[in-house]
Amino acid sequence: MTNMILTINQTQGLCPEVGGSPGRAPGPHPSLHACLQVCGAGPRGPSSHSFFFFQIPDVTSVCESDASCTAGSAGTHSNGVSTGRCVPFNGSVKTCEVAAWCPVEDDTHVPQPAFLKATENFTLLVKNNIWYPKFNFSKRNILPNITTTYLKSCTYDAKTDPFCPIFRLGKIVENAGHSFQDMAVEGGIMGIQVNWDCNLDRAASLCLPRYSFRRLDTRDVDHNVSPGYNFRFAKYYKDLAGNEQRTLIKAYGIRFDIIVFGKVARATGSPPSLPQGTRGLSLPPREHAGKFDVIPTMINIGSGLALLGMVSGLAPAFTLTMR
């Protein structure tokens, strides 16, 4: 979790519905939660036009009378169940009343910078075990030569510590070509790729994991509806009078998916299989692991010699027939 929006001391009751549509109106407004932003700057300094940006009710919630509200209805974006009453939202706008946890959440403005921006210094330990059942070969990314002392002090670096399984979160995002502080505001999804490129005819110590990183969620400026990664949860408690209350938390964070690459194929060309016992996501593997086997090799040699013997017998017969 890197950022959050808190709605504290909610109680179950009746309150006017709101939506997530941002609006603006010229001049100050006495009854709306607004933030002042000075717009434009000319050669003589800031423009004289000031605008207040605020949250206004969704068009589906705005009403003029009780006839506009359907009792018992609940839309996909509503915060509760409609009571059928049209009540004032502010001095000039009315919305349908809902039975909900009040006051309802206002997630129009996401805090910037992120509340927990220091999480970029947190570290992540990745444990990955692979198993090739056809060759009865298994290995894990914490290599045999890694000691407890080294594990307590190392941090992954592609040049100095390429096999350290402990990763700094800020470095993961940076290696993927993004800014952790920008990503922390609305969250996102990162992929940690573990690539096993092995030749099992060689020593097992040469079968080593290779790490790479990429951002998985789309970050398109022109198509940026519902960006990032977030989820909600609540903390429930009672006040001094025994009334139930809660604090609703909309949390933004960065999810890390572990993606393991690898497959194994015999020298005889038998169908490849994925390594088993891995954790995280599995994508179509790109690398191959093979191992020499004397029995398939002898079978192939014998088949080749048999074909040569057939050729030596068929060649004279074929030549005589053509004559």
How far apart, in Å, are the Cα atoms of 160 and each of 163, 164, 166, 194, 214?
A: 9, 9, 13, 18, 21
Q: How confident is the model at residue 4 (pLDDT cuts 50, 70, 90)?
A: very high
CA–CA distance, 72 with 68 (Å, rounded to integer): 13
Residue 206: per-residue pLDDT: 86
- pLDDT, tens digit (0-9, with 9 covering 90-100), for 185-219: 999 999 999 999 888 888 888 889 999 999 999 77
The yes-or-no verdict on residue 118 having pLDDT over 50 is yes
CA–CA distance, 314 with 266 (Å, rounded to integer): 33
Residue 56's contacts (CB-CB under 8 Å, 6 or more residues apart) are 19, 21, 22, 23, 32, 93
CA–CA distance, 322 with 214 (Å, rounded to integer): 65
Q: How many CB atoms lie within 10 A of CB 255?
A: 13
- 131's enclosing H/E stretch is strand 129-132
Contact present, 55 and 35 (Cβ < 8 Å): no
Structure tokens at 247: 């604090």
Q: DSSP secondary-structure letter at 30? A: T
Is pTM, for the whole model, over 0.75? no
Task: Give the residue-averaged pLDDT of 132-136.
Answer: 82
- pLDDT, tens digit (0-9, with 9 covering 90-100), for 11-67: 999 999 885 333 333 333 333 333 333 333 333 343 333 333 345 566 777 888 999
